[in-house]
Amino acid sequence: MRFSIAALALPVAAQAANYSGSLRPQVQFSPPYGFMNDPNGLFYDAKRDLYHLYYQWNPYELVAGNQHWGHATSQDLYHWTNHPAAISPSNPDEYIFSGSAVIDGNNTSGFFPGQDDGVVAIYTVDTAEAQTQNIAYSTDGGYTFTKYAHNPIININSTEFRDPQVTWQPETKQWLMTLAYAADKVIGFYTSPNLRDWTHASNFTRQNLPGDQFECPNLVKFAVDTEGSKHVLFISVNPGAPLGGSGTYYLVGDFNGTHFNPDTSDPTLYEFSKDNYASQWYTDLSAQSSPISIGWASNWDYAEEVPTGELEGWRSAMSVPRHHTLTKVKGAWTVTRTPFHDLSSVKSSPLRNRNHPDGVTASFANVSSKAIHFEIDIEGIDAANPVGDINFNFTSPAGDHLDGGVVLDTGLFWLDRAGTHLYTVANSTDFTPLSNTSISVSQGRFAFSGVIDRSVLEVFLENGTQSATVTYFPTAPLDRLAVGTSGLGHGTRVGLAAWGLDSGWYDASRSE
């Protein structure tokens, strides 16, 4: 994607970052100011027990352009500290595009004599002439980087060649790079012994894969009980995603060190909503850890237009951090996702439910963050003849509402953001209100949970086998959850539990 270059003026919000705005998420990460898109360079520093998040950042404007690597760190993936930009363009004619970061613990690169915690960032430099792959190294744990004197490390003279993901392959004792030949809709694999010299290993594509361009691929290894391990290739596409604009799907298969072979040519949609893109996966986790990811909670169809820019000086948030497993659902490999550590480091007291004739309500008007975690459990469903509806609504005193529901008769789960009035389909026809998916009640039970956080809703269905991320923009904070029912079969019961969430920002300007 090509961006316009603006004059390098002062940042859009030269004052300290302000996280108190009514649309500013308190649990999902958002930038201190300016425009943010894809997460980059996610790595875990075990020596310091610290998670690093880099991200595509324009500190000068509220739209994409002037791409830098923004930077933040956290010990729990919820409480963040902002840092100065980690990697910046060397001149006004280039952008620092997406990529990854790894700890070179064995000093394969030669950049870190006498050091076992040097960090190498691998990223795309975009210019009008070409997109090339470059590296930079950090001797201080990932805060400041020195660009490699002999960049680029890969140049194929293409303007559509980007977004390298790099991981260490212990089986082959090599580094593996996964990246996109964007316009060709091809994923390339390269190998290297030292992060500096790379050899092309193979390409992967299939004719039936959707999207106009491939971006931000990630090849992730999952441990599975039945087969030892499987690899999952995540491909982000923009434009032309199955739900419109940008989106992500995945294929499950095997990787032999050079080639990826999927079990099936049919991709699986990562989410049934429009607002999760370009997820990246943490490197350097312990062998016992399940994979962890963070995604960009937006869509290129409207990311540069949403009202957080003009009103609060920032645009775009990330998803909550997510744990993942790979399991079989109805015979098909499925990537599950649930909030990291069940939000335990920000979860506070449970909210009190109040019964009313048609259901139950929970107010979170007194939760200062206006963010909650909720769980809804439907039990006693007649699997042979499921009937009835369960609706849930988040409302504000100003009349905004964000709605969802379960139709047991048809096995439909739906979300509708049309009732949040600050930004609607009238502002952008691509800001479609509805998201829906099919569910199963064959075991007589259906459960789902979610996080709602000022302007981002994430829901997780059926033990995380499905999920949705939905951005919304109310004129006043949503602060009441109501659950109602109609036409349920005899013996069907609906339960609601909800907890307030603490802000992930210790103060309004947590930064260096």
Catalytic residues: 38, 215
Name the residue type at position 96: I
Block residue for tokens 């259901």: 359
Residue at 53: amino acid letter:
L
Find residue 204's DSSP bridge partners.
187
Instruction: Assign residue 317 a region (left: φ > 0; alpha: ψ between -120 and 50; beta: otherwise).
Output: beta
162 vs 156: CA distance, rounded Å: 11
Q: Which residues contact residue 248 at a Cβ distance below 8 angstroms, ignoring those fewer than 6 apart?
A: 234, 235, 236, 237, 241, 269, 270, 271, 276, 277, 278, 279, 295
Strand partners, 134: 123
Work out the angle at residue 129's Cα, subtended by the Cα atoms of residues 123 and 135, and round it to the nearest 5 degrees: 20
Tokens of residue 363, six digits: 């107010």
Distance CA 210, CA 451 (A): 29
List the 131-138 sheet strands across, edge first. Answer: 95-103, 119-126, 131-138, 146-147
Q: Report the alpha-carbon distance of residue 505 to residue 508 in Å, rounded.
A: 7
Q: Collapsing DSSP states into helix, strand and coil, what is residue 246? A: coil
How much is the CA Rg of the chain, to the nearest whole Å?
23
Among candidate residues 271, 321, 100, 110, the one with its CA nearest the CA of residue 190: 100
Question: Which among 57, 66, 167 is positioned nearest to 122, based on CA atoms?
Answer: 167
Pairing type for strands 95-103 and 119-126 reads: antiparallel
